[in-house]
Structures are given as C-alpha cells and as structure tokens.
C-alpha cells in the first residue's frame, strides 16, 4: 500500500500532526498549534517593560525568571517544540464583579491533567516515552508570544492573545516536548497579521488608563494586578476607579470587537460560575458578595473557595477589595460590615475600611440595576 494511512506503515509527520490536533480537540481544547522553541519575538518588548518597572511587585518576572523567559528552550531541558493549547472560559457570560476566568473551578489542575493526557497519547502513538512537560500559566514562559508563534492569534493592543475565530477569553497552556532528531510533528506558521488596525477601544475603555500605549501595560495601574497580585494597600487615587470590581477586570477584553463578534458560549462545565459569585453581576449582588467576604473567617474562605482560582488572593486581600467596592457602591446598609473591619488584624484591611466608611453612602435604593 502507498501513502494514505494504511495499516502496516508509520503515519507521515503531517498525518501524525493532524491526529494529535484531533486528539487535543477531543480532550476539550479549543485551539491547538505547534511552535519550535527559541528566543521570543517580543523579547525586546518584554525587557523594555521590565526596565520601566511596569511589572510592579511581580518579582518572579525579573531576574532569573526573566532570563528563563528570554528563550523558550531554557525552562525544560531538551524540549524542542511546544504544543500550545487554548481553552475558552465563557466570554459570553455577563459582566460582573469577578473576572470570568475565576468564577468556576481552578483551571490549573484541570488543564494540566488534560495536557498530560495528550502527552500519553503521543507516547502511545510513537511507541516510546516522550521527554515532555506541561505548563499551565505556571512556567517561566512568555505564553502569548509562544501562542502567536504557534499560529493561534496576534498580540492585541490590550496585550491579550486574540484569535480571529475565538476572541481572547481563553486559557493558554502548553506541552513542551522533545520531538527527537527525526522531528515527529509539523510546526505551524506564526500568526503574522495584526488585526487591531486603527482600533483603540481597549486603550480608551480602561478605567485606570493603565495602558502606556498599544501593547504596553503598566501593571501597577491595572485592576487585575491591584485586586489579585498586589500584597499591600491599593493606592488611594485608584480606589474609586476600581468601581464595583472585586476580583480582576475584563473590561479591555469586553470592549474588543473580536470578542463582541467571536467569543463563544461557555461549554466547559468546570468553569461554570459557582453559586457564590452568580449574582455578582448586579449592584446588589456585588454588595452582598462584598459583605459576605467581609464576614468570612479562614474556615469559611477555605470552604467557599476550595478548588477555585480566587484563592490566589488571600482572604485579607479579598476583604481589602470588598472595602474598596463598598466604598464605591455601598449604601448605609453596608456600614456595619465595614465598621467591623476597623478591628481586623491586618492593617491594610483596617485602613481600607476606614477609607470606605469616610465615603458618602446613600440610603439603600429600592430597585436593582447592573453595576
Ligand atoms: S484589565 Fe481592566 S484595568 Fe487592567 S488594563 Fe484592562 S481595562 Fe485596564
Ligand atoms: S479592542 Fe481593538 S485595539 Fe484593542 S485588542 Fe481589540 S481590536 Fe485590538
């Protein structure tokens, strides 16, 4: 028998690559591409960003972390290629106080497990072990650069990786593999086009003006950083701009026309919003969640957020965020919960509670409107 996938002969590289991608889709990934490893195209951009100090307190991005990120061959010895995978998390879900990616189960473990299953499939396909390592938003890798290199999309002005058929509400993960000297997989062409064109919607919509220019984000001004990464007081001039956002911010993705037109409905059950955050799309629901956070003790927090990505923020940080939100949208009904925080053990929580209490608090309103 000649070429064509008949029994008794090894598949061609193209056939195996197609089968690997079909397997990835079968496992639940929405996009898949393959990139050869090497220095990232955005390396100079990354260095300039670090030099300007725009990474704030995210020290893991500098020093040794930066050195590893300057060449994707460094994080895992022997790896030659990355299979880059995207999994959508529900860009059509309504806006709310908690960023969409964090409303359901933590994606890290789920996607790592799926990526491992893809590795096992490849090992069975090749009939030998494969030197490989999965990364899910965890390794010292410029993931969006790698995804662009694997053909999954372009680096938008909002710094997100945007795919022309899926928008940007997706998780990126990757399986670093050593494909061996005989190269058993075809790599994809990098995504060459920049389809942002003259659009500046994301830059204009940012409530804190965190973009220093297209693709240059000052993380220290970004609500995602302020509510999740920052281990300290939120600078006072930024608190009002945080509005009703308790955890993360999706605004510069929500306004992107590629998400407006192409983001998809939530399909993955694990990422479906948990009961606790379900009502946090309305002003009253957000206030209720903020009050609930203020009343939580360590046991409540552990139970409420077991297996949730929200646990990246410690309980005192969530209380800090809740104070900011109630300072912005709270009413006199919320005053007792804030006053209780004046005795909190963490100085930052006490100070944010005092700030919130000093803000004007209207009387409760009879009707509910989205925040
Ligand atoms: S996530 Fe929000 S605060 Fe951060 S850059 Fe985007 S719009 Fe601005
Ligand atoms: S909003 Fe416009 S400029 Fe921003 S990432 Fe989307 S297409 Fe690009």
Domain with residue 283: its CATH number is 1.25.10
* Residue that is last in its domain, among 158, 177, 196: 177
Q: Could you tell me the pLDDT band of residue 330, with boundaries at 50, 70 and 90?
A: very high
Contact 162, 120 (CB under 8 A): no
The three-class DSSP label of residue 85 is: strand
Residues 133 and 282 grouped into a single domain: no
Note whether residue 88 is domain-resident. Answer: yes
297 vs 287: CA distance, rounded Å: 18
285 and 171 within one domain: no
| pLDDT tens-digit readout, 31-55 | 999 999 999 999 999 999 999 999 9
DSSP characters for 130-156? --EEEESS-SS--HHHHHHHTTS-EE-
Residue 214 Cα: closest atom of ligand 2:
3
What pLDDT does 143 receive?
A: 95
Q: Is 140 exposed, middle or buried (0-12, 13-18, 19+ CB in 10 A)?
A: middle
CA of 309 to the centre of ligand 2 (A): 26
State the pLDDT confidence band at 371, using cuts at 50, 70 and 90: very low
Tens of pLDDT along 91-130?
Answer: 999 999 999 999 999 999 999 999 999 999 999 999 999 9
Nearest CA to ligand 2 atom 7: 196
Residue 175 pLDDT exceeds 90: yes
pLDDT band at residue 6 using 50, 70 and 90 as cut-offs: very low
Query: pLDDT value at position 1?
Result: 30
Residues 173, 38, single domain; the answer is yes
Indicate whether residue 251 lines ligand 1 (CB < 6 A): yes
**Do 151 and 300 belong together in one domain?**
no
Residue 296 lies in a domain: yes
Last residue in a domain, options 137, 152, 177: 177
DSSP 181-232: TTT-SPPPPP----TTTT--HHHHH-TT--EEETTEE-GGG-HHIIIII--S
Position 123 scores a pLDDT of 94
Confidence (pLDDT) at 4: 41
Q: How far does residue 285's CA lie from ligand 2's centre (Å)?
A: 30
In a domain, 219, yes or no: no
Residue 187 CA to ligand 2 center (angstroms) comes to: 27
Give 181's pLDDT tier (boundaries 50, 70, 90). confident
The pLDDT assigned to 200 comes to: 98
- In the prediction, which pLDDT does 279 show? 81
User: Which ligand 1 atom sits nearest the alpha carbon of residue 250?
Assistant: 1
pLDDT of residue 229: 94
pLDDT of res. 233: 98
Query: What per-residue string of b and e applies to 231-257 under the rule 16 or more CB within 10 Å gives b?
Result: eeebeeebbebbbbbbbbbbbbbbbbe
Give residue 183's pLDDT. Answer: 72
- Total count of domains within the chain: 2
Tokens describing residue 330: 């709270």
In this structure, the answer to whether residues 173 and 311 fall within a common structural domain is no
Token pair of 365, please? 């309103």
| Poorest-pLDDT segment among 65-74, 113-122, 161-170 | 65-74
Same domain, 151 and 296: no
Nearest ligand to the CA of 205 is: 1
Q: Please report how many Cα atoms fall inside a 13 Å half-sphere around the Cα of residue 298, on the Cβ side.
A: 2
In a domain, 148, yes or no: yes
Q: Is residue 301 domain-resident?
A: yes
Find tokens 């000297």 and name the residue. Answer: 181
Instruction: Report the pLDDT value the prediction gives residue 184, as an integer from 0 to 100.
Output: 79
Q: pLDDT tens-digit profile of 306-317?
A: 999 999 999 999
pLDDT of residue 365: 60
pLDDT band at 3 (very low <50, low <70, confident <90, very high): very low
- What range defines the domain where residue 313 resides? 274-358
Residues 210-269 pLDDT 10s: 999 999 999 999 999 999 999 999 999 999 999 999 999 999 999 999 999 999 999 999
Q: Are residues 160 and 295 in the same domain?
A: no
Buried b (16+ CB within 10 A) or exposed e, 192-223: eeeebeebeebbeebbbebbeebbbbbbbbbb
Among 200-214, 272-286, 331-345, the least confident range: 272-286
Verify that 38 and 168 share a domain, yes or no. Answer: yes
- Beta bridge partners, 370, equal 282
Q: Per-residue pLDDT for 369 more than 80? A: no
Query: What is the mean pLDDT of the segment spanning 160-173?
Result: 97
Q: Report if residue 242 sits inside a domain.
A: no
Write out the DSSP string of 266-316.
---GGGSPPGGGTTTTBHHHHHHHHHHHHH--HHHHHHHTTTBGGGGS-HH
Could you say which of 177, 202, 236 is where a domain stops?
177
Average pLDDT, the chain: 93
98 in a structural domain: yes
On the question of pLDDT at 195 being above 70, the answer is: yes
CB under 6 Å to ligand 2: residues? Answer: 156-158, 162, 196, 199-202, 255-258
If one residue of 206, 213, 219, 246 were mutated to test the ligand 1 pocket, choosing by the most ligand atoms within 8 A of its CB, it would be: 206
Reported pTM: 0.93
Report residue 206: phi and psi, to 5°: -60, 120
In testing the pocket of ligand 1, which one of 55, 97, 210 has its CB within 8 Å of the most ligand atoms? 210
Co-location of 169 and 23 in the same domain: yes
In a domain, 251, yes or no: no
**Residues annotated as catalytic (active site), given as ranges:** 137
Averaged pLDDT for residues 295-302: 97
Same domain, 170 and 62: yes
Q: Is 349 within 8 Å of 316 (Cβ atoms)?
A: yes
């Amino acid at each position: 028998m000649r070429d064509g996938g008949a029994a008794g002969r090894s598949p061609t590289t193209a056939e195996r690559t197609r089968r690997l991608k079909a397997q990835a889709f079968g496992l639940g990934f929405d996009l898949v591409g393959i990139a050869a490893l090497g220095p990232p195209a955005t390396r100079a951009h990354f260095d300039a960003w670090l030099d300007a100090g725009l990474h704030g307190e995210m020290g893991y991005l500098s020093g040794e972390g930066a050195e590893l990120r300057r060449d994707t061959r460094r994080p895992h010895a022997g790896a030659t290629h990355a299979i880059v995978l995207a999994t959508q998390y529900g860009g059509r879900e309504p806006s709310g106080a908690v960023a969409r990616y964090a409303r359901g189960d933590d994606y890290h473990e789920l996607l790592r497990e799926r990526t491992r299953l893809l590795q096992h499939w490849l090992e069975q396909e090749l009939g030998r072990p494969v030197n490989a390592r999965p990364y899910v938003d965890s390794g010292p890798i410029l993931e969006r650069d790698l995804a662009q290199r694997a053909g999954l999309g372009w680096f938008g002005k909002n710094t997100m990786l945007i795919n022309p058929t899926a928008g940007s509400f997706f998780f990126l993960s990757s399986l670093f593999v050593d494909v061996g000297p005989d190269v058993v997989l075809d790599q994809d062409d990098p995504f060459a086009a920049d389809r942002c064109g003259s659009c500046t919607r994301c830059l204009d919509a940012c409530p804190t003006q965190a973009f220093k220019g297209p693709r240059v984000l000052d993380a220290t001004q970004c609500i995602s950083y302020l509510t999740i990464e920052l281990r300290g007081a939120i600078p006072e001039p930024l608190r009002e701009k945080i509005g009703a956002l308790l955890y993360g911010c999706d605004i510069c993705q929500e306004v992107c026309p590629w998400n407006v037109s192409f983001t998809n409905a939530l399909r993955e059950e694990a990422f479906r919003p948990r009961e606790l955050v379900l009502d946090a799309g309305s002003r009253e629901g957000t206030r209720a969640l903020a009050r609930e956070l203020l009343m939580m003790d360590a046991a409540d927090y552990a139970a409420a957020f077991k297996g949730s990505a929200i646990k990246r923020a410690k309980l005192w940080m969530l209380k800090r965020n809740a104070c900011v939100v109630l300072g912005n949208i709270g009413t006199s009904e919320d005053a007792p919960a804030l006053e209780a925080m004046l005795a909190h053990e963490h100085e930052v929580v006490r100070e944010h509670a005092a700030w919130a209490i000093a803000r004007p608090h209207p009387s409760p309103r009879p009707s509910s409107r989205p925040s």
